[in-house]
Every structure is written in structure tokens, then in C-alpha cells.
Amino acid sequence: MSNLELSQTKQTRFHLSLDMHPLEMLYLILENIGLTILTLGLYYPWAYAKKSRYLWNCIRLNGSAFSYHGTGYELFVGYLKVFIFYICFSLVVQATTHFISPQAAIIPTVAVILLFIFYLLPAIIKGAITFRLRRSSWLSNHFDFKVANSNWFWTWAKGIVLMPLTLYLYYPAFEFHFTRLTINGLRYKNEQLYFQASLRDFYRMFFKNILFTLLTCGLYLPWATVNKQQFIWAHTSLREIKFNYTMTGYQSLKIHLLYLFALPISLGLAYPWVLKYGLENKLKAIHLNGEIDLFAIAQENSSTTTNGASSEKSTTPSIFEAASRLSDTNIDIGF
């Protein structure tokens, strides 16, 4: 590790920054698109891994870059497993329809739908978060995600059942419990993030956002999104570090308008510049306040943690990441 990194990580003030060159990003995107087309889509996993490595390496914490270690091959294997599962399910439905009756095909279809809602979807979300974090690192130390399966699936199933029964009045509670469970599961080395907020305050924030969004016919939506992000960041901590998010609704609106108008007008060529503008503003809005030696955390039990991370990395199935990409599952956990 360089002296520059050592001196920066010993600071008690922290800042996130972006070192991204839009022209490099544009060349990378065009190369990925070209190779994906030439290979009839087979190159997509490698394209995704290459783009992720580039973007992670552009993000800096106190001048030190993050890294992404996922490979195209393991993502390709994940996509292949999803494809095999889909083929097997289709064959079961067709065989049931052909050899028994069309009505009997409803049984495996309903069974798979229920299996997807109550088990596969939460498993995909949890597996994809774990996959991404274990293949991401800062100062050569991997992140991790640890949540007990019983808590994860119980929280999900309880929310799925109670939301329709309460006319979706339980939805804010479901989002609150799931957000807390997710953030509390985030790890860096032996350190854990904590989300500490009251459900009453979350409900108050949630219904305030709903009310103003309805009264303004949706115009308040960027401010509502920022309010929720500010609430989550303000109630998240890491040891003595407290987080603060200073993005404004107006800035969020500008980012959304850029995506809405600049991309179609430029036929997508402006995407790297729009992406850089949005990421820069979001990273600048994240403030870490508190006295803590990040370098000491990065060096604590280095050999033990690193070996553990590498062994756990190999056991994280890429099928979850592939399934989350194919199903367009949103995994932003509120940040």
C-alpha cells in the first residue's frame, strides 16, 4: 500500500469521489455492444463484468479506489443455470398438458408462481447482494453480506401475506424491516453497518411523501425519493461514523430530466456523461462524519479475513446474480 493511501485512510474526515472519463466509458460501451451483437448475446456476461470493474474502479474513498472481482465466466455459468431451469419448467408444463390435460398444467404453473414469490425472489435478492458484495473490495478487502436465512425469508413471507390483507397499509413496515435487515447485514472486514430508526418515524416520512406526491400530481416524486434516501442514510452508522445525505430534490429532478431527454436526443451516446453527472452528485452528497481509522480496520486480522472472504466467494452462486439481471430485480436497498 502506498504512503498516499496510508495517510489518506488515517484521516478522520472522509469523502467519496468519482474519477471517470466519459470517452473511455463510451468506448467500453460501444465495444461491449459490438461484441455482444457479434456473439449473438453470448458476450453479455463478460460485458457486464467489464463495465462493473470499470465503474467500481472509478469510485474513490479518500482517494483509494474500489474494485470489482466478478468474472464473465461465472456470470455466464449463472445465466446457463437459469436457462436450464426455465427449459425444465417448460418441459414439465408441456408434458402435463400433453399427457394428462390442459387443466392439470395449472397445478405446476401455480406451484412455480408461489415458489417464485415466496422463495425464489427473496433468494435471488439475497444471493445477488451477497454475490456483488463478495466480489467488491476496498484496500484489497472484500465486502460481505450476512443475514440469517430464517430472518430473511420470514420477513419477506410475512410482508407478502400482510400487505394485501391490510390493503397495503403494512407496506411501509415491510420496507422498514427489510431495509433494516439488509443494511445490518452489510459487512466490511469485521465491521457491521447498523440501521437504527423507529418505525413510527419511517411511517411519518413515508405518508408525507405519498401525500405531497398525490397533491402535486407526481411532481414531488424526486423530492420524495431524496427524503427517503436522507432518512436511511441519517439512521445508518459504522462504529463512530455517522452518515449524511445532502442531495436535494432539485438536483434529483435534474438528473432524471437528463436521463429522460439527453439520452433520446443523443441516441444514447450521451449516456457516459449523464451517468457521470448523476454519480458525481450522488457521491458528493454522501458525507461520512466521525473519528475512525479506516486503515486500521482494513489491516485488522488481514490474513484471517482475506482467506475467509476468498473461500466464501467461491461458494456464492452466480445464478442469483444472473437471475436478478434477467428479472430486472431492483437491488438498491434504499441507498
pLDDT tens digits, 287-322: 888 777 666 666 665 544 444 444 455 455 666 666
Instruction: Quote the CA–CA distance of 162 and 170 in Å, as a whole number.
Output: 6
> Which backbone phi and psi does 144 adopt, to 5 degrees?
-150, 170
pLDDT at 281 over 60: yes
pTM of the prediction? 0.84
Residue with cell 467461491: 314
Identify the pLDDT of residue 327: 53
Cβ proximity of 45 and 34 under 8 Å: no
- Return the SS3 of 35: helix
pLDDT at 51 over 90: yes
177-193 as b/e, with b when 16 or more CB fall inside 10 Å?
bbbbbbbbbbbbbeebb
Instruction: Quote the CA–CA distance of 316 and 130 in Å, as a whole number.
Output: 7
Give the Cα-Cα-Cα angle 59, 183, 65 (nearest 5 degrees): 15
C-alpha cell at 82: 437459469
Please report, in angstroms and rounded to a whole number, the separation of the first and last CA atoms in the chain: 30
C-alpha cell at 318: 452466480
